[in-house]
Structure 1
Amino acid sequence: MQASYDLLRAARVALDMSTDELTAKAGVSKRSLVRIEACEPVGLEISMRVQKALEQAGVEFLPETETEGPGIRVRKGLVRKVGFQIDGP
């Protein structure tokens, strides 16, 4: 499946990956990534290189189904857990 630009951006953020890191892994220019994240058109090869780099980093792109929209899933252990403490009365 070809991921939407919104999902590509969401995947990069979920991995806490900088734009510089992703451009290096995907072998694309920073301008191309900026265009993708602004939902401006780029060539198919460029967007697929970004998608492949994100998949190699641990993201799975999930297709749309009859009842749910498309999404992403991140390999276990890659997303930082944030601990919350609720102050009692």
Structure 2
Amino acid sequence: MQASYDLLRAARVALDIPAAALAKRAGVSKRSLVRIEACEPVTLETSLRVQKALEEAGVEFLPETKTEGPGLRVKKGVVRKVGFQMG
């Protein structure tokens, strides 16, 4: 499945990867990544490179179903756990 620009942005944020680091990992310019995250057009190759880099970092993109919209899932152990206390 080809992920939407919104899902690509959400995946980067979920993984807590800086834009410059993801651009480098994907082999695209930082400007191209900024364009994706602003929902401005980029080439299909560029968006697929970013998607592949995110998938290699631990994201699975989920297709739309009859009852739910498209989404993403992060592999167990990839996201940092932040401790907090209920007060």
- TM-score bracket, normalised by the shorter chain, equals over 0.9
For 1:12, the equivalent position in structure 2 comes to 12
Q: In structure 2, what is the Cα distance between the partners aligned to 1:44 and 1:18?
A: 22
Q: What fraction of aligned residue pairs are identical, expressed as a percent?
A: 79
1:37-56 pair list within 5 angstroms: 37-56=37-56
Aligned to 1:83: 83
Gaps of 5+ in 2: none
Question: 1:33 & 1:57 partners in 2: Cα distance?
Answer: 16
Q: The residue matched to 1:73 in structure 2 has which SS?
A: strand
Q: Secondary structure at 1:79's aligned position in 2? A: coil
- Where structure 1 has 5 or more consecutive residues not aligned to the other structure, the ranges are none
Q: What's 1:65 paired with?
A: 65
Amino acid at match of 1:57: A
Work out the CA distance in 2 between the residues paired with 1:40 and 1:86. Answer: 40
Higher gyration radius (CA): 1
Instruction: Report the TM-score when normalising by structure 1.
Output: 0.94
CA RMSD of aligned residues (A): 0.7
Return the TM-score normalized by structure 2: 0.96
Aligned length: 87
Q: Cα deviations across residues 45-87 of structure 1 (Å, max 9, x unaligned)?
A: 0000000000001100000000000000001011122222122
